[in-house]
Chain A
């Protein structure tokens, strides 16, 4: 019966490893915690049960607009109409329209902020909710690499909508994060599914070089490695600069217009451009099976981020390559980016001082010269609400220290002289595995020859227009 639905709705012949067990637990009505690597087919495990039970709404909380957009796109692509979303992009009327007709929908995607809006919570409390899914559940944990304050209230909100069955999914969660998820969401003896973080098809390579050599090496590397390839950098500016220096490369980052972003994604998906240089904004929810290589031009901030990013390669199961280029001192960029995500001691002190002296929260941004929706200010606001001055300062110090430690662990991946795969697996409390073509420490990795991808065909505009409008 599961297989019939899989075939009918999703068009697949068989489940991927591990999917069936999760679906069984969901259908039985258990709370579920599922840890599956990127590309393991997470979304199918909470979507398919909806077709089996056919009873009520599946709510999916997701942290990023782009993630929600992509998921909805994929659902609609297979012809499902019963999907809606509530995000900051919808107008009040559109939201009302959705909330007034919840019965029409099978899936409702929303951001944690939207779930916390009182009239939304109320409407959902009165609806027939089959299951609440928390995507990217690691965001709930302060020990996770992407802690999001908006996630902190999810446990309470779950209660408010009547404590429906709950499923927490994430790609990566070490032991302490797992405990945090279960506790914060009040999962009731959840069925736990932990898939190996290992991606045997990806060969791991680290190259240590001098700073000045990096760009030259990158140019040579993108010529030799199998494509399509993704090059990750730390900043938008660097993404733009590198793409202009590489042949056949385009850049992608969050600062581009929606239309341009979509054009780049679409070109990459269709193999019209072989190399994409991007910040971590790219990739979330991008379903491209045949990415052959991922290059890190800058060291990622955490092992989790590294795993997630290299995990975009080789989803079709064929051999793929992950290359990290590391020069001494590269970590400083990440340190700087970490520091920027937290208020400085001085700012914390000023904020508490101002509040003490009768300033209101709405005056604060101006007084501190911070943007109202600056994430740092939002964090500061939360600290003000929950902690004393000293506690706030200590909390930030602790958080930063934890982030530095995580960065240190990522540095280890680059610096160790033992098997990199074994190190990564140990990080996720897993046993090491032996495999051929493992990492550059275990033995030399050779890039296979691959055919060049199709080049852009540039023609005179009339010809291009004719191609676009051609039914042949």
Chain B
């Protein structure tokens, strides 16, 4: 039996490089949409696992102490031991890690809830079967109800959905395809629990869960733009930027200045700064020079140690620069830009 799920979490710890705390990772895994956590996910390549391991403080604590007990983790420094590193290193672990979509405003999760509930509802209706809904989500329920009210040629539409799912999963491949398909519930087939999918694929239930998440993310990505299935994402956004930062960004686009935005939105300076950092992280192009003088940008780049995203060592070696400004430069460096 294969256990990759622990490896994925260990790899996340490894990527934090001892520069962030246990708490930081907790928020990343739970998908907390705060500036610090979004930045941690961005800088340390943790966006794929962002919000993919929701847990209570208690459960997280139990997990970490278990890792420590097994000799995988040095909790003092929040670094992996050699044994832990061994588990985080296989290519399979990094591959699965990379396939996880990470939570983006619930885009993947909500699309799944809608589609799976829709398939179950429609197929049960067609076969005149009463059914026990697999999803208990009110907004997904409302959404499905609404679209079913419209009179359409559901059969031919279902055939299209079927074809689109099959084609997309073909490119994603196994074990992910199996994990996704066996999660669906039809009129006569009930979906499998992660426990059962695990048995099917000879992995533990936690890994089975990740296979599903990876497969579902892969399917959504593999859908061509013109796919009818895209309708299930209607009204959802998969943007990483928070709503609030997006609002500030739009004011910038209208030509407002930093201080104008601050007074229009009645937010603290630090909040608007966080929004600007989000823009630096997520936007294709960003006018860095408007916020940091050119020579400072170059100094930050020169001072940064390869592989580190810690701010403090840079801050301590420079005068007249703020943490905010360092963050902006690092964000652009992280995106692959270079200024030297």
Contacts and interface: CB of A to CB of B under 8 A. Distances in A.
Interface of A: 69, 73, 77, 89-90, 94, 250-251, 256, 258-260, 262-267, 269-270, 272, 458, 461-462, 464-471
Nearest to B170: A462
A154 B295 CA distance: 71
B184 A250 contact: no
Interface string B127-143: 10011111110100000
A272 B169 CA distance: 26
A305 B166 CA distance: 48
A259 B134 contact: yes
B159 interface: yes
B248 interface: no
Nearest to B161: A469
Contacts of B77: none
A250 B181 CA distance: 20
B118 to A, nearest CB: 12
Contacts of A260: 193-195
A458 B197 CA distance: 11
B208 to A, nearest CB: 11
B132 A266 contact: yes
B220 interface: no
Most chain A C-beta atoms within 10 Å of own C-beta, residue among B131, B133, B185, B195? B195
> What are the 9 tightest A-B residue pairs by CB atom distance, in nearest-first order?
A468-B186, A469-B162, A461-B181, A260-B193, A266-B132, A461-B178, A267-B190, A266-B190, A465-B181
B31 to A, nearest CB: 15
Contacts of A470: 186
B126 A272 contact: no
A458 B200 CA distance: 8
B133 A262 contact: yes
B303 interface: no
Given A250-B193, A250-B195, A272-B190, A465 B184 contact: yes
B177 interface: yes
Contacts of A262: 132-136
Contact of B158 (A264, A266, A467, A469): A469
B103 to A, nearest CB: 15
A263 B123 contact: no
Contacts, number: 85
Interface in B253-274: none
B123 A469 contact: yes
B193 A263 contact: yes
19 contacts: A73-B132, A258-B135, A259-B135, A259-B136, A262-B134, A262-B136, A263-B190, A266-B185, A461-B174, A461-B180, A461-B182, A464-B182, A464-B189, A465-B166, A468-B119, A468-B181, A468-B189, A469-B162, A470-B186
Nearest to B169: A461
A75 to B, nearest CB: 13
B165 interface: yes
A469 B186 contact: yes
A258 B161 CA distance: 26
Given A73-B132, A465-B184, 7 more contacts: A77-B130, A250-B196, A263-B193, A269-B132, A468-B184, A469-B158, A469-B186
A32 to B, nearest CB: 30
A432 to B, nearest CB: 39
Interface string B91-130: 0000000000000000000000000000100010011001
Contacts of B196: 250
A463 to B, nearest CB: 9
Given A260-B193, A471-B126, A266 B134 contact: yes
B136 A258 contact: yes
Interface in B194-237: 194-196, 200
B243 interface: no
Contacts of A69: 136
Nearest to A267: B190
B190 A461 contact: no
Most chain B C-beta atoms within 10 Å of own C-beta, residue among A259, A269, A467, A471? A259
A269 B124 CA distance: 15
A464 B165 CA distance: 12
Contacts of B189: 464, 467-468
Contacts of A263: 134, 185, 190-193
A457 to B, nearest CB: 8
B299 interface: no
B120 to A, nearest CB: 9
Contacts of A272: 190
B155 interface: yes
Contacts of A73: 132-133
B155 A471 contact: yes
Contact of B186 (A77, A256, A267, A467): A467
B121 to A, nearest CB: 12
Contacts of A465: 162, 165-166, 169, 181, 184
A193 B34 CA distance: 57
Nearest to A90: B138
Nearest to B127: A471
B151 to A, nearest CB: 17
A464 B191 CA distance: 11
Contacts of B134: 259, 262-263, 266
B188 to A, nearest CB: 8
A217 to B, nearest CB: 24
Contacts of A467: 186, 188-189
A265 B159 contact: no
A270 B182 contact: no
Contacts of A270: 188, 190
A181 to B, nearest CB: 31
A464 B181 contact: yes
Nearest to B163: A469
Nearest to A89: B138
Most chain B C-beta atoms within 10 Å of own C-beta, residue among A73, A467, A470? A470
A266 B132 CA distance: 6
B162 A466 contact: yes
Contacts of B166: 462, 465
B176 to A, nearest CB: 10
Most chain A C-beta atoms within 10 Å of own C-beta, residue among B119, B126, B182, B190? B190
Contacts of B135: 258-259, 262
B215 to A, nearest CB: 10
Nearest to B57: A371
A469 B155 CA distance: 9
Contacts of A259: 134-136
Contacts of A90: 138
A461 to B, nearest CB: 4
A250 B197 CA distance: 12
Contacts of B174: 461
Contacts of B132: 73, 262, 265-266, 269
Contacts of A458: 200
Nearest to A462: B166
Contact of B159 (A267, A464, A469): A469
Most chain B C-beta atoms within 10 Å of own C-beta, residue among A260, A269, A270, A461? A461
